[in-house]
Amino acid sequence: MKTMIVIRGAMGVGKTQLCKTLSKTLENCFWLDGDWCWTMNPWNFSEENKTMVLSNIRHLLRNFLENSSSRFILFSWVLHDRAILADILDGLTEQSYNLRVVTLTCSKKALTSKLQKRGREDLIEKGIQYLSLYKEQDQEMLTLDTTELSPTEIQEKVLAAI
């Protein structure tokens, strides 16, 4: 059976870096970063665009699940609201798969440092606000504090959990 691994967490916490390494480690793996579906200029968070983005995400995930060569599907996105993930998964009810949800978190200081190194000071305040939102959600599988972990250690812990 296929496994969909959802990697969620505040912006800057390390989702993309983790998925880059996991996608190279897991054989027969497809990876979708939810941010790719929001790439537009100018960026416009309208209801129409939100509906389109969620539809596109469901469409891509469904195709990955239906593809005969896929074994693992990685999906990374902020997913700060449980309802967003539920909405996406509700559109995938025709497929059979194992779901693994990994929430990455870190200290406020570590998140600030990571975002500063990337030149994304504009996201620090919002990222720090988002950190607390994950504590309020049900934790389906694994919540991993990456503050003191190397990228290799993070990957090892996620692989052990899936």
DSSP per-residue codes, 48-115 = HHHHHHHHHHHHHHHHHHH-TT-SEEEEEE---SHHHHHHHHHTTTTS--EEEEEEEE--HHHHHHHH
**Exposed / middle / buried, residue 36 (Cβ in 10 Å: 0-12, 13-18, 19+):** middle
Q: How far separated are the first and last CA of the chain, in Å rounded?
A: 13
- The residue that leads in pLDDT, 137 or 97, is 97
Which among 60, 53, 97 has a CA at the least distance from the CA of 75? Answer: 60
**pLDDT tens digits for range 42-56:** 878 899 999 999 999
- Comparing 19-23, 43-47, 109-113, 154-158, the range with the smallest average pLDDT is 43-47
Tokens of 78: 């902020």
Domains along the chain?
3-161 (3.40.50.300)
3-state class of 33 per DSSP? strand
Whether omega for the bond prior to residue 42 falls within 30 degrees of 0, making it cis, is yes
- Comparing 9-13, 21-25, 76-80, 141-145, the range with the smallest average pLDDT is 141-145
What pTM value is reported for the model? 0.92
